[in-house]
Structure 1
């Protein structure tokens, strides 16, 4: 059902999504959908959480598998994972982490970007020369918000993402983190 939801989001967006269409695409009875999800928002929430877990795992593996000389290389790797998901994961381009549905879709107590910032903060804290603490908390929040805005702009009119804007997003985040919070 989540895969069907992702396909339908790419085809028509959230406005065109319905539990009936999800059931039809998944090849299940509508009652089966309602057995697990009370409405389309609950389905997209489950899909957004799936994307968050997928993104977190991809970033974790990439950071663990590669040896970075400096934390800025890790920042680029994180942005590259987001871009790859945007280009290759069905439904991600339309839903991201749920902001098109509800800014608190992932967690009713926090904005979606805050949830992402908390996850990334924990992952970035493992990189070389990255101090831990309140400054990193704030920096992760600002960096995620800024990157989110620029990356949305990069994909607004270019399905693969405007390469120059992607480069600018990386530069923005690295410069911000380097200048204000993290040791060079």
Structure 2
């Protein structure tokens, strides 16, 4: 996957970081802290996350963590931003690699990509920028799932030469919101995702969009 933004830019742009890392070593250190936070959230949820727990699992001192993150909230906010950027990069890359020729094929590419993020990206199920639990203050025009659905529309327009009127755009945005909610349900209690719910999620995603986009 192409690197659309370096880790230091992601950190500086999506969370209230005290000191933005400017050297490779610092960037690696902050990335390790976020990796540890993502692993913790994946296993335990974000409610009980503490700086002490992340210091223990990341190998960084509490002083080092506080150098970059003023508190646990800032760490979670930055992790949400990183997850959002990774989702944007993954979705863009998936559509461009698959080169779908029909809307049906394109929707399957999007579904498979988002399912993969829920299954493989640590912490993504709990902390992502489109969630009701997204706790980042929105300082830019970044609207979580709206941003992801907008990227989907742009890539479909470029890849397949499709144009979408206001009804079609709304259908794609609504379908993506429904897909996200159903993926949350599918992975709520089943580690690899409930197959029946995943199948229904794919069907509904197609149905919502196909009903408005002809």
* Residue matched to 1:107: 138
Query: Are positions 1:9 and 2:9 aligned together?
Result: no
Query: Are positions 1:151 and 2:151 aligned together?
Result: no
CA contact (8 A) 2:96 2:155 kept: no
Structure 2: give runs of 5+ residues left out of the alignment: 1-32
Q: What's the offset of the Cα at 1:6?
A: 0.6
CA contact (8 A) 1:48 1:98 kept: no
Q: What's the offset of the Cα at 1:129?
A: 5.5
**RMSD of the TM alignment (CA)?**
2.3
Q: Which moved more, 1:21-30 or 1:111-120?
A: 111-120
Structure 1: give runs of 5+ residues left out of the alignment: none
* Residue matched to 2:211: 179
* Residue matched to 2:21: none
* Residue matched to 1:170: 202
Q: Aligned residue pairs: how many?
A: 181
CA distance in 1, matches of 2:206, 2:71: 40
User: Residue 90 of structure 2 is aligned with which of 54, 58, 66?
Assistant: 58
CA deviations over 1:119-150 (Å, ceiling 9, x no partner) = 33333333425313433432232112211222
**Where is the helix percentage greater, Structure 1 or Structure 2?**
1
Distance 1:68 1:141, change over 3 A: closer
CA distance in 2, matches of 1:49, 1:40: 14
TM-score (norm 1): 0.84
TM-score (norm 2): 0.74
CA contact (8 A) 2:130 2:143 kept: no
Distance 1:137 1:5, change over 3 A: same
CA contact (8 A) 1:62 1:77 kept: yes
CA distance in 1, matches of 2:157, 2:137: 22
